[in-house]
Amino acid sequence: MRKKIVAGNWKMNKNYNEACNLISSIVDGLRNSVISPEQLVILAPPFPFLEPAVARTEEIEYISVSAQNCHSEEKGAFTGEVSASMIRSVGATHVIIGHSERRNIFNESDEFLAKKVLAAQNAGLIPIFCCGEMLPEREKGIHFQVVEEQLNKGLFHLTQQEIKKIIIAYEPVWAIGTGVTATSAQAQEMHKFIRSLLIKKYKNETAENISILYGGSCNAKNAKELFANADVDGGLIGGASLTAQDFVTIVNSF
Ligand code: PGA
């Protein structure tokens, strides 16, 4: 059975004290929630807050901590970069790879992302691999092709065993931080398409066990409707993950 996941991508927000307060408020807020054994909550704060996030959530089985990025090499002369094994060494278990902001602002190519996915897995991290089309691509009707190509180039080099340790996030770029959410039908249509690609490339059973998250202006109001779709296994939440109450409401939206 695949996991139901809500992951909070804090992006470049919060200072140390604010981060610690947000983690504590989320932990407190979730204390009164009924979290089923197949649910997982992931917090993805900026690098300097990974360690306090791990320390504050260590005893809570259903909370994991993720980085927002990693480099493809394990160590060396890459000033300013952080390796997957460094992230793992502070206790984080996941890493977001291929977010559209990394692809578009930092020009990260599919080939580079493919290397990062392997580096993350080699270090024992579970990649949360992001894909999604830009607005002109959807308007041209080529959104399925775009997502298929991103998966083919960035993810489908993985073996049958490796792909099992992956979370996929579909994030249409036109919905990220814009307040415009994909409709429930648009999300389900793309998620089903992604699962069909997984079925074609890997075993049926493998594809059925991979969680596919929706991201892009998912919030406390629309999460329930989005999560009700058969192939939407949760969300990757940006803006709404910065407020404990909203984030907790989203976690409780299954
Ligand atoms: P948003 O961001 O929820 O603020 O749209 C989602 C994301 O970029 O992961």
Which residue, chain included where needed, has tokens 């998620």?
191
Per the listing, tokens 């490796």 go with 162
pLDDT tens profile 125-156? 999 999 999 999 999 999 999 999 999 999 99
How far is it, in rounded angstroms, from Cα 6 to Cα 14? 20
Contact 233, 254 (CB under 8 A): no
Structure tokens at 173: 């770029």
178 Cα nearest atom in ligand 1: 5
Q: Which pLDDT does position 217 carry in this prediction?
A: 96
Dihedral sign, CA of 10, 14, 16, 17?
negative
CA of 15 from ligand 1 middle (Å) equals 19
Q: How confident is the model at residue 1 (pLDDT cuts 50, 70, 90)?
A: confident
Strands 167-170 and 212-215: parallel
82-93 per-position pLDDT tens digit: 999 999 999 999
**pLDDT per position as a tens digit, 23-82:** 999 999 999 899 999 999 999 999 999 999 999 999 999 999 999 999 999 999 999 999
CATH fold of 4-251, please?
Answer: TIM Barrel (3.20.20)
- Of the candidates 57, 40, 48, the one whose C-alpha atom is nearest the C-alpha of residue 3 is 40
Pocket test for ligand 1, best of 236, 241, 243 (most atoms within 8 A of CB): 236
What CA–CA distance (Å, rounded) separates 235 from 213?
A: 5
Contact 26, 244 (CB under 8 A): yes
Residues 91-122: tens digit of each pLDDT: 999 999 999 999 999 999 999 999 999 999 99
- 3-class DSSP state of 106: coil
**Both structure tokens of 12:** 């470049």
Span 149-176, pLDDT tens digits: 999 999 999 999 999 999 999 999 999 9
